[in-house]
Chains A and B, each alone.
Chain A
Amino acid sequence: MARREIEYMLQAESVIKQYRQPESVITAVNRANIKIEKGEFVAIIGSSGSGKSTFLHICAGLDKANAGRILIDNEEITKMGPDELGRFRGEKMGFIYQRHNLVPQFTALENILLPTVMCNKADASYQESLRELVECLGLSERLHHLPSELSGGQCQRVAIARALINNPQMLFADEPTGNLDRKNADEVLSLLLKIRETRGQTLLMVTHDLAIAEQADRIFRMDNGILKLERDYIGGNKKTVDTY
């Protein structure tokens, strides 16, 4: 039987990130490698300050690595200029942060639609996505409210809708439910995963919460900047896990 050609959505190779202090150098990410298949859900766990969020930011092109390569959908973002990278992010990636990071002067609806004004797709392509997200996330009653007029859970739902409105292929989530109580966290996460699954999107999530991480296809652990595979729930019989 011929071996299946694996399509990777994200490939990180030998990523190093260091912070220079007056008398020392702190290595936040130390030769981290990861390959994530299209449609896969990968979680990175680790203690505070282990470098997991830094690694996520580098993967998303939000931060610059000192060394290493990042490829998203086979395009090397580490070689891209800032404008090219910006456009690429708008097309291919979606972000969900621990804090909602909504733009304060725009309403929930406007925040959700913000990514659409940065891409040159036809209006109609967003209408269906918007309807679906608003309905699914239960935001229809709060669309014309400013972020300061919404609860934390509602803001986070808006942030998820904003991350998904462009239907990006790659989703990055940095502790997306870290600021929410358990009930809200479960609710928001299940909605996120449901939509992701329906759309077949790839998700790389950083979390403290093992209960959340356990829903991932694979779990990595970041420890002092070193990334290691922790658990492979689908390895062996479904997919091959490459470790470096």
Chain B
Amino acid sequence: MFFNFKQYCCFFAAIFIIQLLFGMMAISAINNNSVEYQQIKQEQKLELDQVDEETGEKIKVDYHYEIHNLTLSQYTFLSKYKGEQGVFDEQKQLYVIVDTEKRINELDNKEVYDVFIRFGKEKNLEDSAMVSKYYNDFKKNYIKVLANLEDDDVSFETKTTMLLDYNQRVAANNATFFIIAGVLLVLSIFLLTSIYNIRLNQYKFTYGVYMTFGADFKMLFGTAFWELFVIMLVMFVPAVLASTLIVYLIYAPSGFAFTFNAVIFLGVFLFSLVVVAVSVVMPMRLTSMRQPMALIITEDNSNLISSPRKSFNLLGKKFPLQYELYSIWRFRKYNIQLLSSAIAFCALFICGLYLSNIYTTDLEYPRAQYQITIDHENSYMGYDSLFSADIQKVNDAFLEKYPEYKEVEGFKAITGVEVTGNSKPVEEDADKNQTPIIEARYANSSFMLVNAKDVKLGATGPFVYNAKDAYTPYIGEGSLKVTNEVLYKAVDPDNAEDLFSFLSQYDVEGEPRDILKSDKNTQYVIIGDSTSNIKTYKFDVGDKIVLSRYEDKVTEVDSNLTGKNLLRRQIKNYSYTYTEFVVCAVIKDIPSGSVPVYMLNDAYKTVTQREDLTVTKLNIYTNPDLTIEQTRFIASELRDIPVESGDAKIGSVKVVDLEQNAENAITEDKHYSQLYIVISVLILCVSPIIWFFSQTNYYFKREKEFNIIQSMGATESDVRTIYLLGGLSMAIMSFIVSILLSYIASYAMFYVYNVVVPNFTYEYVRYTFYMPWYALVIAVVMSVACGFLSVYIPYKSYFKHRYAIQNVVRDED
């Protein structure tokens, strides 16, 4: 092996890259857990009012659990019986109350308590498994008691902190690691199998000879395995060291302590061992199943040729142009395999960079920091102008607390309020949390008609509306398309500013405020342009849409019908009335399942036949630059908001801190973006390995052919031209295929993140489709250069032996 290093250098490089990639992933996974823990420990501390005598700074403590709105009796119970005093004899001390905040509940002027708990007696209990155990014991024993002590008017709220959830977060991180490791395993096996197959093609003759002397699968596998195993051992230490160094360089700037675990050595070893073993099993199994003679005759490239049905008519054809074009065609199987496998890695490179970009986009994407649920079980109130004013008061209170922000022009602590739910859904609603945001198909079989010209070419949702098929047709100008993938949203004209503020986070064309100009003659809507985050419509301001209102049915519709078939049948069997709307604003990048259509309350009631528009759930967006301490202050202020009805105070709000700012900080410190860039570059390096290894072997076998044609009259210039044509054709094909595969890869990533992933996470983040041009340029240049150079190098090698033509016959001497 070491004497024939040239033949094996591709394997050295490939196995090095495989070990490096896995090593990087394993080390970064460990560091991600460590960074997450350090970040949580650093950020999720509770600042007490007490001051440290030594430092003069406020004392900060770890805590695991928050309980809000406790009554005096509940608080007394919690503070008195921490476990050690015999309430639950079998328990040791379960928790320490690290801080208590006393507030006056504005609803009934009673005192309520917010307590912050740390599980375990020790100040810095690092054993997260033990913390989880204490937490479970706490839930089992204490929550029941607290529930029994609950006041009729006030219910307590609990919330776990990131520190308590650390175990689950680590489990989630590890699950992600194993999924990615699985993908890497498949890719690595694909890579190594590909290049081993290239080598096998070169050595089939040799293996055929071995088999004639009795070699079986076990022996062939042994030979192949030991070759790669030795390479694996040689590259093992450099790969682990390099991966440690790379990850260190990525993580070091954050200032977190770098973590390394010796188990990684074992992991990398086992991973590459599996890759090496699996990669040679299939090729050698297939080889051993063939007849020795079938292998021996593959001394040339004949096994790469697609058998023709008839011959080309060579008479009068130009040499060497047509000669080489015909050859390329006959070797199409080989060329396709080479192009697809080599450029597949370029496409993966683009996927990696796309992923890297998505992480950056993801961090910048507006997400709610809090979710407010308005408890109005015994009332009919919701988000109204008074509530809206209360939100503004929180903004004012924030500026009072942190006056330094007053100098920042246009600063708002709360940047948007989004209405998301209603607790009084109509029974047939599919998602009971989605009124007054209701989908057309659930709004008594409603639908939207749009001009065909406003539908993007190739959009699959809307279909052609045939008025003649409708029971109560809408006759409009031009051809129309129909869809029920529409999300109706009501706009309260008295509280619209919060909506406009929310919408301003997105790319809006037109003036959303014009919706307030709606009158009897012209009703306006604000509309999105996408379905499932994919652009479906090309609305302009001033375009017309029509929304249908269900009136009656002629005959029942088959309950087995779904989707477009159901809508077609509904149009045919039901009677509708129609309302025309004018688009006043188009939201270009709002995340969406169905296309959102905002209309004023009255129009909403008309179209959906809903009378009750009580809102119960709100998403609150905060300024992403706020510190965790500042967001905690806002949470506290939000909890103080009562729901009012005139002078009466009824109900309360439940505030859940979604901790988005903290999540973003953690994600940022995990350096996914940089990691993906490095991984992508490494994956890109695989492409030249395949190119050069494959083409070198291919052209090495064709050298004899070039000698033969020279003996028949071809000149050296002709042979040079053949090489040149081979290189150019590969470069051109690479250019086309790399653009094609890169586009497909980009679109696949876009589709997965915009359409597939939201189905599982229920979180609609909108990633715009783009082709990362710099990655595309790199991939295309790399492919074209490899396509050409992988021919140029064998060409140089061939002509280095100036009079190699005699080799064609030397074998025969």
Contact = CB atoms under 8 A, between A and B. Distances in A.
B803 A105 contact: no
Nearest to A126: B315
Nearest to A91: B713
A106 B330 contact: yes
B715 A54 contact: no
Given A113-B314, A144-B309, A175 B712 contact: no
B323 interface: yes
Interface in B704-746: 704-705, 708-718
Given A53-B812, A126-B315, A115 B301 contact: no
B723 to A, nearest CB: 15
B712 A105 contact: no
B223 interface: no
Interface residues of B, number: 45
Interface string A113-133: 111111100010011000000
A86 B713 contact: yes
A115 B713 contact: yes
A80 B704 CA distance: 22
Contacts of B136: none
Among B302, B314, B705, chain A packs the most CB atoms within 10 A around the CB of B314
Contact of B302 (A90, A95, A101, A104): A104
A109 interface: yes
B302 A117 contact: no
Contacts of A114: 314, 323, 709, 712
Given A57-B809, A86-B718, A174-B812, A104 B305 contact: yes
Contact of A97 (B318, B710, B812): B812
B89 interface: no
A175 B316 CA distance: 32
Interface residues of A, number: 51
B314 A117 contact: yes
A174 B809 contact: yes
A73 interface: no
A105 B330 contact: yes
Nearest to A54: B813
A55 to B, nearest CB: 11
A196 interface: no
Contact of A62 (B711, B715, B716): B711
Interface in B261-302: 297, 300-302
B708 A103 contact: yes
A64 interface: yes
Contacts of B322: 117
A104 B715 CA distance: 20
A118 B808 contact: no
Given A49-B813, A113-B315, A104 B712 contact: no
Interface in A39-57: 48-49, 53-54, 57
A143 interface: yes
A225 interface: no
Among A60, A146, A166, A178, chain B packs the most CB atoms within 10 A around the CB of A146
B302 A146 contact: yes
B292 to A, nearest CB: 15
A107 B308 contact: yes
Contacts of B710: 86, 89
B584 interface: no
Given A114-B712, A118-B319, A63 B297 contact: no
B805 interface: yes
Given A97-B812, A103-B705, A118 B714 contact: yes
A62 B813 contact: no
Interface string B295-338: 00100111101011111101111110011001100110000000
B91 interface: no
A48 B330 CA distance: 37
Nearest to B306: A105
A107 B313 CA distance: 11
Contacts of A110: 311-312, 314, 326
Interface in A122-154: 123, 126-127, 143-144, 146-149
A62 B808 contact: yes
Interface in B540-598: none
Interface in B753-812: 803, 805-806, 808-809, 811-812
Contacts of B310: 144
Contacts of A148: 297, 302-303, 305
B806 A57 contact: yes
A11 B371 CA distance: 101
Contacts of A62: 711, 805-806, 808-809
A69 interface: no
Nearest to B813: A53
A228 interface: no
A162 interface: yes
Contact of A109 (B311, B712, B718): B311
A111 B12 CA distance: 40
A149 B806 contact: no
Contacts of B713: 86-87, 89-91, 115, 118-119, 166
Contact of A99 (B318, B331, B812): B812
Contact of B803 (A53, A64, A126): A64
Given A86-B710, A103-B708, A127-B315, 4 more contacts: A86-B716, A108-B311, A148-B297, A148-B303
What are the 5 closest A-B residue pairs judged by CB atoms, nearest first?
A90-B713, A86-B715, A83-B715, A63-B806, A118-B713
